[in-house]
Amino acid sequence: MRFLSDWSLHEVMADRLILETGKHHMVLFPLAANLVRVFVYRPEQPRPANTWSIDPLGDLPREGRHRLSSDGFETPQWRWEETADGLVIEMENLRLTVHRPLRLEWSIRYQSQWITVARDRPTGGIAVARHGLGVEHYMTRSSDERYYGLGEKSGDLERSGRHFEMRTLDAMGYRADRTDPLYKHIPFTITRTAEGLSYGLFYDNLSTSRFDLGNELDNYHPPYRAFRAEDGDLDMWFLLGPDILDVVKGFTRLTGGVAFGPKWSLGYSGSTMHYTDAPNAQERLGEFVDLCQQHAIPCDSFQLSSGYSSIGAKRYVFTWNRDKVPSPQAMVKRFHDAGMRVIANIKPCLLTDHPAYDDVADQGLFVADSDTGTPEISPFWDADGSHLDFTNPATQQWWQDNLTTQLLEMGVDSSWNDNNEFQIIDQQARLAGFGTPLTASVGKPVLSLLMVRASHDAQARHAPDKRPFLITRSGGPGLQRYAQTWTGDNRTEWRTLRYNQRMGLGLALSGISNIGHDVGGFAGPRPDAELFIRWVQNGVMHPRFTIHSWNDDGTVNEPWMYPEAVDAIRQAIELRYRLLPYLYTLLWQAHVDHEPMIRPTFLDHEHDTTTFEENDEFLLGRDLLVATVIEPDARSRTLYLPDNHEGWYTFEGDQHFAPGTTVTVDAPLEHMPIFVRAGSVIPTSERIAHVDAERDTARALRLYPFTRKGQRTVTIFEDDGESHLDQGPGTLVMTLELACDEKTIHLNWQTQGHYRPAHDRLRIELPTDDRRALFVNGQQVTPGDSVALES
């Protein structure tokens, strides 16, 4: 490696400056008032020429976006000046200085003065390979900085003092407190400085890379942090906060926003490998439907594991084992009649003895070996197989045709894109790259994204009037624009419950918050009854709620697996269904406003430094605080309630706690502590069954008033749950104003939109002993009364 040092100004354009530094160009893009990009590359050979991570308008073409494009950004007012000491690019609140010798420095205008928030290491900042591939970037590191992000990573949410590898890997049975790498590739960090300012740094590089955030020490350099990539260019996006939430929303928008899935995707989704692996799979699947009804467990979908596609002990995508599943259409109908959708597992690798392998190879649809040009072969599920090359339009067409004929036309509703880490041994294996060839070394997460994109497009064409819903296990930045995800094949143990929660929050801080975990644990022994109850209680408070298992002792995680626990399990799942209107509004807000659905407590309370301490609580939206019980035999829970100035209620509403206090509350086995921010209005449903807009005829608004004087606006979203936002019967947005003083509580609302739900009245609940007079839309009412929606 060699450090770039000397540079000269090469060209000035309306939206960029171009510097020359040896054989490389450095392009500086001021893209928004709080966003600047630095792109270092060899002009004759950018690696790769396109990106699939950046999608500011949500219209990314399949072939990607050229890296020199600034489309989708409105270039802000900016000025530049070159001096003997360097070059300065200045926007309203952000300034980038390029020093001589080459060193970058970012400053923010804060309280009428410029404050440096980040700078390259003075003993060498940007390094490139002398011969071959690879880039490195070194920045100074302060001991009082905090680091977050990097997507799905094990251990604590705050990343200081640790080293991480960014490489997609099928980490079966991982330890949630320490295993690295895992399934996803999200090279994005958030830094919070000692002054309480925040910025994000995204390296748009999808090769295997490593982040060092203070684990490494070198006597020849001051304290530093490092990014090292084995291939590709240095493409850095600097996002200024100044708050962490600003950074999170900005990165979510930058990478394409959040898919707005159907409402049923928020219901309970059943799953286990054992049903489809059983020789009588169709019978076992029907039993699941019967047992849900027998035990009164609401359920909206079932995830069909890959055993339905087996021949012997192996899995063959887009095939049906008719011995196990004699009639796929009848199997699907059995679920549909019970109000459940079917989500089928699909994999992007064909084993070498797959019935379609030779035909697909003859068409050139596989990733190609770097030496021979024949299909590259890697281990896959205890055999050898070849991965499909989704950068080839013909491959995408083959995939979509098979998904349509083999699954969607059988009645399957959705696709579960699994085992899509693309663990290709030959790093120089060739990808078609839509006419501009790529190597696997820079393109594996692209293949994951494009696989999901192809599945999404097939589903959209098959059911054009409905919003597609997909699940993916792997991917890079932007996967949230197509799919929901989860944290993979976790291990059954108490520590997984604790650290999966942190993994999910790390994803949420990295733009991916429509997530969940395999409830109960996937690998290892089955959970005992207590662990299972606590895991379900935690799972129902995540956007994705799925009980899924492979248990190596041959058991199956199901709501009724312990007769003594089924009542507590049912109670937790029923709570989730009561909260579906709230969850659905959160999903809509994630789509339209880039708001993360789950949130660490500090995201909405940065002024409260205590929230930055590692803890086992999280927020679901802005208003619900979930205090998971993560210790065996615990029947109470001690937690810190953030300082929100107004205090917190227990969800049941019988207690109010002052803000900024540590409390200990009862947590019997059938109960998980949940708190609501004072000043909130939580919509709840009385329909405890699968999602059905026509039968959702009763709705309540639960008020958690300010204890004294206060006012707040709350938004609630409704539609039919599956039509596109600009189609079907339309939408309904309720804007509610809650205002309180010492003697009265006032709730007023306005509605916008043409959609009319099945419920035409709203029951007003005041779940406290509050004795103040309650007025709704100007009329005094008694708590428990119902008020017309159009009052």
Tell me: the pLDDT tens digits for 131-145? 889 999 999 999 999
Q: In the structure, what pLDDT confidence band is assigned to residue 689 with cuts at 50, 70 and 90?
A: very high
Q: What is the per-residue pLDDT for 687?
A: 87
Does 458 have pLDDT greater than 90?
yes
**What phi and psi values does residue 61 have, to the nearest 5 degrees?**
-70, 160
Tell me: the pLDDT tens digits for 598-610? 999 999 999 999 9
Tell me: the pLDDT tens digits for 256-287? 999 999 999 999 999 999 999 999 999 999 99
Q: Span 704-722, mean pLDDT?
A: 97
Q: What is the per-residue pLDDT for 791?
A: 65
Q: In the structure, what pLDDT confidence band is assigned to residue 698 with cuts at 50, 70 and 90?
A: very high
Q: What is the per-residue pLDDT for 193?
A: 96
Kindly calculate the radius of gyration of the chain based on its CA atoms and give it in whole angstroms.
Answer: 27
Enter the pTM of the model. Answer: 0.97
Tell me: the pLDDT tens digits for 561-592? 999 999 999 999 999 999 999 999 999 999 99
Task: Work out the angle at residue 603's Cα, subtended by the Cα atoms of residues 598 and 609, and round it to the nearest 5 degrees.
Answer: 135
What are 59's two structure tokens?
């219209």
Give the CATH number of domain 680-788; options: 1.25.40, 2.60.40, 2.40.128, 2.40.50.
Answer: 2.60.40
Task: Work out the angle at residue 660's Cα, subtended by the Cα atoms of residues 656 and 662, and round it to the nearest 5 degrees.
Answer: 75
Give percent above pLDDT 90 in the chain.
96
Tell me: the pLDDT tens digits for 37-93? 999 999 988 999 999 999 999 999 999 999 999 999 999 999 999 988 899 999 999
Tell me: the pLDDT tens digits for 504-516? 999 999 999 999 9
- Comparing 282 with 791, the larger pLDDT belongs to 282
Contact 661, 638 (CB under 8 A): no
Q: Span 174-178, mean pLDDT?
A: 98
Q: In the structure, what pLDDT confidence band is assigned to residue 111 with cuts at 50, 70 and 90?
A: confident
Q: Span 100-115, mean pLDDT?
A: 93
CATH architecture of 598-677: Sandwich (2.60)
Contact 297, 268 (CB under 8 A): yes
CATH architecture of 2-254: Sandwich (2.60)
Average predicted confidence (pLDDT) for the chain: 97
Please give the Cα distance from 334 to 388 (Å, whole number). Answer: 33
Please give the Cα distance from 132 to 230 (Å, whole number). Answer: 10
Q: Span 519-528, mean pLDDT?
A: 96
Pairing of strands 773-776, 779-781: antiparallel
Peptide bond into 101 cis (omega under 30): yes
User: Closest Cα to residue 264, out of 785, 641, 690, 689?
Assistant: 690
**What phi and psi values does residue 308 have, to the nearest 5 degrees?**
-65, -20
Which alpha helices (H) appear in 614-771, and where do they start and end? Answer: none
Going by C-beta distance under 8 Å and a sequence separation of 6 or more, which residues neighbour residue 211? 150, 159, 163, 164, 166, 187, 189, 225, 226, 227
- Comparing 653 with 367, the larger pLDDT belongs to 367
Going by C-beta distance under 8 Å and a sequence separation of 6 or more, which residues neighbour residue 362? none
Contact 202, 209 (CB under 8 A): no
Q: Span 351-378, mean pLDDT?
A: 98
Question: Which residue ranges does the chain devote to CATH 2.60.40.1180?
Answer: 598-677
Q: In the structure, what pLDDT confidence band is assigned to residue 382 with cuts at 50, 70 and 90?
A: confident
Q: What is the per-residue pLDDT for 112?
A: 86
Does 477 have pLDDT greater than 90?
yes
Which residue's structure tokens are 């790498």?
181
Task: Work out the angle at residue 270's Cα, subtended by the Cα atoms of residues 269 and 272, and round it to the nearest 5 degrees.
Answer: 135
Question: Which residue ranges does the chain devote to CATH 2.60.40.1760?
Answer: 2-254
Q: Span 765-786, mean pLDDT?
A: 94
What is the distance in angstroms between the CA of the first residue and the CA of the last residue of the chain?
70
Q: What is the per-residue pLDDT for 730?
A: 95
